[in-house]
Amino acid sequence: MSFMNTVTRFEFFDFNGYFKAVTNADIQTSLNRDHLDTYDLLNLLSQPAQDFLEPMAQKAQKITLQYFGRTIGLYAPLYISDYCSNHCTYCGFNQATNFKRTQLTLDQIEQEAKVISDMGIRHILVLTGEAPAKTPLSYLEDAVRILKQYFSSIALEIFPMDEEAYRSLKNAGADSLTVYQEVYDQKIYKEVHPKGKKANYLYRLLTPERAAKAGFRAINIGTLFGLGEPGSEAFMAGLHAKYLEQEFPDVELSLSLPRMTKAAGGIEPKNVLSDIRFVQFMLAWRLFMPRLGITISTRESAAFRDKLIHLGATRYSAGSKTDVGGYALKADDATVQFEVTDKRSVAEITQMIREKGYQPIFKDWEMME
């Protein structure tokens, strides 16, 4: 059994009809429950639930403090290659986009690692485009071994791989995986991934399961808001996280809320996710999964991220650069995957977290030899 069974179950579900039929009484009943089921999640994701954001926020804050305390984990992304063999219509890195591609040498990766480490960061997220021929397993293993000298935790956001390849990267020193389904709606998925290996919906959907079986300790998933209908996408992402939590109880699960912005060569989002719905989805996920990590990236503005500290967020990126070699090399003509909105330094974000009464966490895990 895999999560594809759940996708099939809800493939023709009338989300709009359900959301419209939700009553205030339904929402209050869901809010009163200690353990939420599938339909409770739907209720809290509905439009009428926006009138209940205050009680949702109060309960979410209480739950978050119970399971995570007043802590915010910090990490930084490191882009090591922007070559890509896919044709995703929404991404500036897609193969059809004409720009100067860059891939870091191992020496350059170490230069970047030194700069990021000097910022105080101890958890790193390594990103590539999806071009296995350019960034083969051997290259990724060597990169991880270098980064292991500087960081206590190495997460990967790369092209989906087979279980054995993930096991090899784990043995090299990687411990976590981030992979977004991008959009759970299969029809839209096919439209926005017209060709390339990423066009294989099922292979991408089962990626978190392969990583968990390979022994990764933490997995972060999500949907790219802007492609599909936000409410149904938030629901499917929540169910996906719940499924993984039940199947792999030893794995630390997190959800992210990336929102589309127009990148070079990309498309305008068809389903804009408002700030209010962003907060609503965060709160609904927290009430549905009390132990769930919630990651907020520098896509979001400084002012908005500051407000999310008390609402269930557990992990922030800091000092982010989204171009290859953005920390040490700083090329003037570099292409970014998305624009960083919160441009504050690690020190500034750390100060903000402390001023909010929370503790910034730079290191909460280390692989034992």
pLDDT of residue 332: 62
| 8 A C-beta contact, residue 177 and residue 216 | yes
- Tens digits of per-residue pLDDT, 295-339? 999 999 999 999 999 999 999 999 999 899 999 987 665 666 667
Q: What distance in Å separates the CA atoms of residue 218 and residue 226, rounded to the nearest whole number?
A: 26
Q: How do the domains of the chain map onto residue ranges?
A: 4-361
φ and ψ at 177, to 5 degrees? Answer: -135, 135
The residue to which tokens 């109880």 are assigned: 249
- Tens digits of per-residue pLDDT, 91-134? 878 777 778 889 999 999 999 999 999 999 999 999 999 999 99
R_g (Cα) of the chain, nearest Å = 20
Handedness of CA 363, 367, 368, 369 (dihedral sign): negative
Mean pLDDT of 29-53: 97
| 8 A C-beta contact, residue 226 and residue 259 | yes
- The 3 state secondary structure assigned to 323-336 is CCCCCCCCCCCCCC
Q: Could you give the residue ranges of the DSSP H alpha helices within the chain?
A: 4-9, 15-21, 24-32, 38-45, 53-68, 106-118, 137-148, 163-172, 186-192, 201-205, 207-213, 230-247, 275-288, 302-308, 346-355
pLDDT of residue 334: 63
Instruction: Check whether 54 has a pLDDT greater than 60.
Output: yes
HSE-CB of 292 using CA atoms within 13 angstroms: 33
pTM equals 0.95
pLDDT of residue 156: 98
Distances (CA, A) of 108 to 148, 149, 182: 15, 14, 30
Q: What distance in Å separates the CA atoms of residue 217 and residue 219, rounded to the nearest whole number?
A: 7
Mean pLDDT of 235-260: 97
Instruction: Check whether 261 has a pLDDT greater than 90.
Output: no
Q: What distance in Å separates the CA atoms of residue 67 and residue 245, rounded to the nearest whole number?
A: 15
Q: What distance in Å separates the CA atoms of residue 336 and residue 324, rounded to the nearest whole number?
A: 8
Q: What distance in Å separates the CA atoms of residue 116 and residue 78, rounded to the nearest whole number?
A: 9
pLDDT of residue 153: 97
pLDDT band (50, 70, 90) for residue 223: very high
Q: What distance in Å separates the CA atoms of residue 176 and residue 111, rounded to the nearest whole number?
A: 22
Q: Which residues pair with 164 in a beta bridge?
A: none
4-361 CATH fold: TIM Barrel (3.20.20)
- Tens digits of per-residue pLDDT, 338-355? 678 999 999 999 999 999
